[in-house]
Amino acid sequence: MIIDERLSQLDRAMQAAGRMITAARTAPKARGIDILEACILTGDDITRLSEAMLDLHRSTGRPVYERDAANILKAQCIVLIGTHRQLMGLNCGHCGFPTCAAKPAEAPCAMNVTDVGIAIGSACAAASDCKVDTRVMFSAGMGAMRLDLLPGCTQVFAIPVAIASKNPFFDR
């Protein structure tokens, strides 16, 4: 049997994405409380995300949304990682307020932000191990929030995954 490398790229990208969301799930979390969500987008869902990003471009005028909307169409799949908002009760002050009680409800808990960042780093390390092309995109994460792809998450980041001769997510 001969398997053409170009015809199996989606399968291999999906295998890498599966490892990425596993790495995100098993990453350390503040107080051991898991409030993260993750999923993988393919096909028409990537197109929907791109369209949502173009809507963001039209409403904000920010060129990053238009550029990245075109860019994610080069991905075989996209990993989304997000976090719900939950106070960790540490009264650590990292959010800029002296206690959790003094923090306004709309201000994110610094531990939530840290947890999603660690999960993203773990996912990117797994992607690197698989030798796939990626880039962390806040812009695509904003589009994902607009579409409510990770319901209830207040911060979402996207990591498009591609298998290409040259990383399509750099030198844009």
Residue 62: inside a domain: yes
Residue 4: inside a domain: no
Residue 172: inside a domain: no
Asked if the model's pLDDT at residue 170 lies above 90, the reply is no
Residue 70: inside a domain: yes
Among 79, 84, 63, which residue's Cα sits nearest to residue 126? Answer: 79
Average pLDDT estimate for 126-138: 97
Per-residue model confidence as pLDDT tens digits over 89-106: 999 999 999 999 999 999
Measured distance CA(87)–CA(109) in Å, rounded: 6
Measured distance CA(83)–CA(157) in Å, rounded: 9
Measured distance CA(9)–CA(26) in Å, rounded: 26
Among 95, 80, 68, 59, which residue's Cα sits nearest to residue 151? Answer: 80
Question: The domain that contains 25 carries what CATH number?
Answer: 3.40.109.10
pTM of the model: 0.95
Residue 94: inside a domain: yes
Per-residue model confidence as pLDDT tens digits over 151-163: 999 999 999 999 9
Residue 78: inside a domain: yes
Nearest-5° angle of CA 131, CA 127, CA 130? 40
Q: Which domain holds residue 111?
A: 14-162
Q: What is the DSSP letter of 171?
A: -
Per-residue confidence (pLDDT) for residue 6, from 0 to 100? 86
Per-residue confidence (pLDDT) for residue 132, from 0 to 100? 97
Give the count of domains, the chain.
Answer: 1
Residue 149: inside a domain: yes
CA 13 to chain CA centroid, Å, is 15
Banded model confidence at residue 171, pLDDT cuts 50, 70, 90: confident
Asked if the model's pLDDT at residue 113 lies above 80, the reply is yes
Average pLDDT estimate for 109-130: 97
Q: Which residues of 30-63 are buried (b: 16+ CB within 10 A; e: fewer)?
A: beeeebbbbbbbeeebbeebbebbbebbeeeeee
Residue 6: inside a domain: no
Measured distance CA(83)–CA(132) in Å, rounded: 24
Per-residue model confidence as pLDDT tens digits over 52-70: 999 999 999 999 999 999 9
